[in-house]
Amino acid sequence: MKPGDHEILESLLDDWEALKSKGQSVDPEQLCQPHPQCREAFLKAIAALSSIDTRLLPEHENRQDDTLPSDTHLAGRIGLTHLREHAQGAIGRVCIALDPELNREVAIKFLQPRYLKDEYHRKRFMIEAEITSRLNHPGVIPIHGIGTTEDGCPFYIMPFVGGVTLQEAINRYHQDQTTYTPLKRNLEFRQLLNHLIAICHTMGYAHTRGIVHRDLKPDNILLGPYGEALVVDWGLATPVVRDSQARASGEKTLLPLHAPPSGIGQNDSGAGTPAYMSPELTSGSSEFRVSSDIYSLGAILYCILCGQSPAESGPSDLKGLREHLIQQRWPTPSALKPYCPQAVEAICLKAMSSEPSDRYPSAMEMAQEIKRYLADERVVAHRESWGASTLRFFRQHRRMAQLSLTSMMLAIVVLVGAFIQLGQSGRESQAVNKALLISTAKLTALTVRMEMERRWFILEQAAANPRLIDRLSGVTGTLEDKDRVFMADLLREIRNQALNDSVQAESWFICNATGYQMARLPYGSSIGQNFAHRDYFHGNGRDLSEGERGQPPHILQPYLSTPYASSNDGDLKVAMTQPVFSHLEGHQDRQFLGVLGMSIKLGDFAILDGNLSPGQGAVMALLGQDYLEDAPRRGLILHHPRFQSAPNNDSLRTIPRIQGDLVRQLRTPGNSLYMTDYMDPLQGGASSGWTAALEPVRLNAPSDLGDNGSWVVIVQRPNP
């Protein structure tokens, strides 16, 4: 048997064991039919295994040659103790041990005992150690050292990184997504794509150095607890000839110093995991290229989209499965998941093209495509329809889209009105004016609701920021300077991102779990004060006395506060707040960490004016209760054309309100009003009064906002 056939034999043995473990009948002759040169060795290996009634599985612990090196041996050789097994790869086994000098856990990878006398696998293990140590990238676990145990087993030592594999994360996403809200499902999906981007970056670096992994799959991707995405198990990695783009990068070619054994390199075929191997390698090609790893990255994306590998839809017998993969009979992602994003599917299918030349030329270009999708940019591999391009343009230019839509609606209404006026009587013209005023009020109310929902979306995304969660988790009681600086910088990032989305607020703030304000933009004297008594913190519908705790003591869902007087400048404001938790909803250890919020000053709802025609004015009022005066009252005007700025603290007793009977009528669900004798509280001197359309606004937040979310928009024009 040629040296290059060793891994084919190992793959056949693995397939034989896997089929037996599933209770399926196994025909050894049929199993090794594609590789007749391995037939004799394969049949001998099966006979030997059957005679001793054992398996070559990693978790088997009864074989004498599979025992772990003892703590005594390790202590004598490398000073590590408390050795315990953790995982296994293609030719190695990973253990965890304690480094007593630095009081830290480390990972040790040993060559599997059954390969100790196999020169081929010993050299491959040493090449794996060298390649891993020389790939200087955050996506590759570094190596601290290398050595040999007293009984001759080679090993190398790495930092121990806890976490889960990408396969476990994918399984959890597809098992739990039916319980997710649409926003949470989108966040989890985008997180998986971000992990894949990091993996592409790692492989882009390795390919630039002239190294292909050859066994990329979700089980060989380790996700750390702090967002790390690490490519592990480089046991099948091999050097390849670099292309011109790799040579132009300035990185040096990685040529292992250890002489590769015969069979490793361009003549070494049959290795890898069939479900993620490219068709050319599955069919027995001996030529390794970067394009093979690109295919594997596409297969990983397939698994993210579908929750299964391309092989899982194929037949159970090995020969049929190979044909299934080589001829690419697997269903497309959209066939399995109808709601799969078309652009991401296009990226996946391009990376998994049957012809290597049709795939992405580099892992970095594949990463760039995924970034384009996440940024809502056009994906090159996806030919989107005109309608999809138009919708994407409007998503990227929301303000322009709103203005364009408003202009079109107004133009249509004006044209209809002009046409009717040409041939209708004055009474019919008045009907057109009425319809125009009512339509403007409805459109303005819809615009307000969409704008507020967009602000909640921004707050919800920002509250999931891992850096915010991590810092709030370590803060209790009063603040240190380092916390203030960190939070101020983080809050500035959140505000700038909101400004990029055309969202402005009078102020932004962060409070910790006890109510202390940790940061505010712009800077204010309120930083360091406790605001656990504020309605925006506890959500009880009104501000409490300082030191008094609400029941509940803090908000549990996105919240819109009752109007309050700012402690910094005395202006009247409302605040939109989002709770920050240590984990996502449903996690049993989830803890409340604080509140992230933005405030809007009364009178700063300029969005109301974007839909108006000449001569019209827009007013907005709160139908719910406020506590700005001695007793709870309703009808507080939040915005008015006459407001130069929000009322200040000196005018709390003279805040204008709409009439009580109008409030009662508008609080009836779905009740809109049209009045030709409306009296404006701030412009009541008009000789003939006002004509007004009053449209309630029920804000659709992720939680019940109660009275605080019940507003009314009033579009008015003076009577002639």
Least confident range of 112-116, 365-369, 706-710? 706-710
20 belongs to a structural domain: yes
Percent residues over pLDDT 90 in the chain: 22
- CA triple 133-137-143, angle to 5 deg: 25
Residue 10 has pLDDT above 50, yes or no: yes
| DSSP state for residue 161 in the 8-state scheme | -
* Residue whose C-alpha is closest to residue 513's, from 591, 589, 598: 591
Q: What is the CATH number of the domain that holds 474?
A: 3.30.450.20
Does one domain contain both 224 and 135? Answer: no
Does 56 or 252 have the greater pLDDT score? 252
pLDDT-derived band of residue 62, with 50, 70 and 90 as boundaries? very low
| Close Cβ partners of 638 (under 8 Å, ≥ 6 residues apart) | 563, 574, 602, 603, 605, 620, 621, 622, 711
CA dist 295 and 215 (Å) reads 11
Average pLDDT over residues 389-406: 63
Radius of gyration in angstroms for the set of CA atoms belonging to the chain, rounded to a whole number: 33
449 belongs to a structural domain: no
CB 431 within 8 A of CB 468: no
Does one domain contain both 156 and 286? Answer: no
Residue-wise pLDDT tens digits, 621-642: 888 888 887 788 888 888 887 7
Amino acid at 318: L
Does one domain contain both 169 and 264? Answer: yes
Average pLDDT over residues 406-431: 64
Q: Is residue 484 left, alpha or beta, with left meaning phi > 0 and alpha meaning psi from -120 to 50?
A: alpha
CA dist 601 and 611 (Å) reads 21
Total-model pTM = 0.52
Is residue 598 classed as helix, strand or coil in its secondary structure? strand
Does one domain contain both 329 and 406? Answer: no
Q: Using the structure block, give the residue that is written with the tokens 């508008």.
A: 666
Q: What is the CATH number of the domain that holds 142?
A: 3.30.200.20
User: pLDDT value at position 347?
Assistant: 96
pLDDT-derived band of residue 432, with 50, 70 and 90 as boundaries? confident
User: pLDDT value at position 265?
Assistant: 46
Tokens representing 22?
Answer: 């599933």
Helices (H), 526-669: 535-538, 660-666
Average pLDDT over residues 413-424: 63
Residue 472 has pLDDT above 50, yes or no: yes
* Residue whose C-alpha is closest to residue 715's, from 588, 562, 611: 611
| Among 95, 130, 160, residue at a domain's last position | 160
Residue 281 has pLDDT above 70, yes or no: yes
CA dist 278 and 294 (Å) reads 9
Residue 77 has pLDDT above 80, yes or no: no
User: How far is residue 253 CA from its own chain's centroid?
Assistant: 35
Does 470 or 304 have the greater pLDDT score? 304
Residue 600 β-bridge partners: 574
Does one domain contain both 38 and 74? Answer: no
Does one domain contain both 207 and 346? Answer: yes
195 belongs to a structural domain: yes
Residue 170 has pLDDT above 80, yes or no: yes
Would you say the C-alpha torsion 697, 698, 701, 704 has a positive or negative sign? positive
614 belongs to a structural domain: no
Which domain, by its residues, includes 262?
161-380
Average pLDDT over residues 25-36: 70
CB 561 within 8 A of CB 535: yes
* Residue whose C-alpha is closest to residue 200's, from 376, 359, 358: 359
Average pLDDT over residues 563-583: 86
CA dist 546 and 361 (Å) reads 63
621 belongs to a structural domain: no
Does one domain contain both 359 and 314? Answer: yes
In the chain, the N- to C-terminal Cα span, in Å, equals: 102
CA dist 443 and 69 (Å) reads 74
CB atoms inside a 10 Å sphere around CB 170: 23
* Residue whose C-alpha is closest to residue 302's, from 382, 192, 376, 179: 192
CA dist 421 and 408 (Å) reads 19
Average pLDDT over residues 644-668: 67
Does one domain contain both 392 and 360? Answer: no
Does one domain contain both 179 and 255? Answer: yes
Average pLDDT over residues 516-526: 89
pLDDT-derived band of residue 199, with 50, 70 and 90 as boundaries? very high
Does one domain contain both 293 and 429? Answer: no
| Close Cβ partners of 569 (under 8 Å, ≥ 6 residues apart) | 524, 648
Dump strand ranges (E) for 602-700: 617-626, 633-639, 673-678, 690-698
| Close Cβ partners of 413 (under 8 Å, ≥ 6 residues apart) | 435, 436, 439
Q: What is the CATH number of the domain that holds 244?
A: 1.10.510.10
Which segment, 38-47, 243-252, 553-562, is predicted with the most confidence on average? 553-562
Is residue 81 classed as helix, strand or coil in its secondary structure? strand
Average per-residue pLDDT in the chain?
80
CA distances to 61, 214, 572 from 3, in Å: 29, 18, 81
| Among 600, 633, 662, residue at a domain's last position | 600
User: pLDDT value at position 263?
Assistant: 47
State the burial class of residue 197 (Cβ atoms within 10 Å of its Cβ: 0-12, 13-18, 19+): buried
Does 147 or 720 have the greater pLDDT score? 147
Residue 212 has pLDDT above 50, yes or no: yes
Average pLDDT over residues 495-506: 84
Number of domains in the chain: 5
681 belongs to a structural domain: no
Residue 119 has pLDDT above 70, yes or no: yes
Which segment, 32-41, 244-253, 392-401, 646-655, is predicted with the most confidence on average? 244-253
Residue 358 has pLDDT above 90, yes or no: yes
Q: In what helix (H) or strand (E) does residue 517 lie, and over which residues does it extend?
A: strand 517-521
* Residue whose C-alpha is closest to residue 328's, from 342, 344, 343, 348: 348
pLDDT-derived band of residue 431, with 50, 70 and 90 as boundaries? confident
Least confident range of 340-344, 363-367, 482-486? 482-486
Does one domain contain both 213 and 278? Answer: yes
Does one domain contain both 189 and 75? Answer: no
CB 240 within 8 A of CB 319: no
pLDDT-derived band of residue 385, with 50, 70 and 90 as boundaries? low
pLDDT-derived band of residue 593, with 50, 70 and 90 as boundaries? very high
pLDDT-derived band of residue 704, with 50, 70 and 90 as boundaries? low
211 belongs to a structural domain: yes
Q: Looking at the chain, how many residues does it have?
A: 720
Residue 680 has pLDDT above 60, yes or no: yes
- CA triple 306-310-312, angle to 5 deg: 90
CB 439 within 8 A of CB 413: yes
| Among 555, 577, 600, residue at a domain's last position | 600
Phi and psi torsions of 703, nearest 5°: -140, 170
* Residue whose C-alpha is closest to residue 478's, from 523, 519, 514, 525: 514
405 belongs to a structural domain: yes
User: pLDDT value at position 63?
Assistant: 39
pLDDT-derived band of residue 52, with 50, 70 and 90 as boundaries? very low
Tokens representing 127?
Answer: 């090449």
User: pLDDT value at position 424?
Assistant: 54
Q: Using the structure block, give the residue that is written with the tokens 């693995």.
A: 14
Q: Is the peptide bond before 315 cis (omega within 30 degrees of 0)?
A: no
